[in-house]
Amino acid sequence: MPGKGGRDGRVPVAILGSGNIGTDLMYKLLKRPGHMELVLVAGIDPQSEGLARARSLGLRTSTRGIEAVLEAPEIRIVFDATSAKAHVRHAPRLERAGKIAIDLTPAARGPYVVPPVNLGAHLDKPNVNLITCGGQATIPLVHAVARVTPVQYAEIVSTIASRSAGPGTRQNIDEFTYTTARGLEVIGGARHGKAIIILNPAEPPILMRNTVYVVPEADDIDEDAIRTSLESMVREVQEYVPGYRLKPPVFDRRWTPWGEKPVVVLLLEVEGAGDFLPTYAGNLDIMTASAVRVGEVFARHLLGLREVVA
């Protein structure tokens, strides 16, 4: 769909959902608009703090949800920051209206996208899915190992501050575990994947922390090549998530369901940028930062601009 962009070299976009994720995304789009122009923030709660903040910034808002988005023909890209169940209803309506949906829920109506791994493969799709916060954080690392040596199994445990898990996150726990595990396989390259999420009520709230356990298929692995691949991947993610920090990988040999195997254990923490949400909410920040990255590449594609992406 190149050549169907917007005004003054920018593509009109909308945010659907005015909760914490939608509000943080709003601040990021205003801070770093690139080739996008945020023209509408739509929710359904008249008392929404997010909508009030949008109005105070001079943005057009609506409490009519998706109806307001569908009635705005100029909008080309819609960031859906509602819930998995809501996006299942939204997806076909947005596609029929000719709008590209960037889905920040675990609904998985479109192909999975992780910016440094496979974004360039789906620029012709009407709907792309950002998987989950755990997926955005850990799939790049699994992929970094898998591009060096085939991966038999990848297991991730994402621990986030309870304060950073709003109603949407809590309602989507089942979708989180399924969608993240599938993402480890489909995008990360693992034959089998498993995902677990833990909500930690500690005070003060902890940063998002992820443990990644990778079992390669081979009995011998090139540890230096894996380190180099991981370092390169971390730099790529840090381009849009500066608070993405990986500790040195741990290499070990352990008994697994596939016999004694080398394993790679990775410890990752994600600190948020603090655009709207507190910095401990790295789980939400990595989703909104990824969404901006994906939206920018789609906008450039709509404008017919060339860009080298994964």
Q: Which residues are annotated as a binding site for NAD(+)?
A: 18-21, 164-172, 283
> 11 near 5, Cβ under 8 Å?
yes
Q: Pick the catalytic residue: 84, 133, 146, 234? A: 133
Supply the DSSP string of the chain, one letter for each residue.
-TT---GGG-EEEEEE--SHHHHHHHHHHHHS-TTEEEEEEE-S-TT-HHHHHHHHTT--EESSTHHHHHT-TT--EEEE-S-HHHHHHHHHHHHHTT-EEEE-STT--S-B--HHHHGGGGTT-SEEE---HHHHHHHHHHHHHHTTS-EEEEEEEEEEEGGG--HHHHHTHHHHHHHHHHHHHHTT-EEEEEEEEEEE--SSPPPEEEEEEEEESSSS--HHHHHHHHHHHHHHHHTT-TTEEEPPPEEEEEEETTEEEEEEEEEEEE----SSS-TT-HHHHHHHHHHHHHHHHHHHHHTT------
Active site residue 139: no
Q: CA triplet 289, 204, 50: central angle to 5 degrees?
A: 45
Catalytic positions = 133
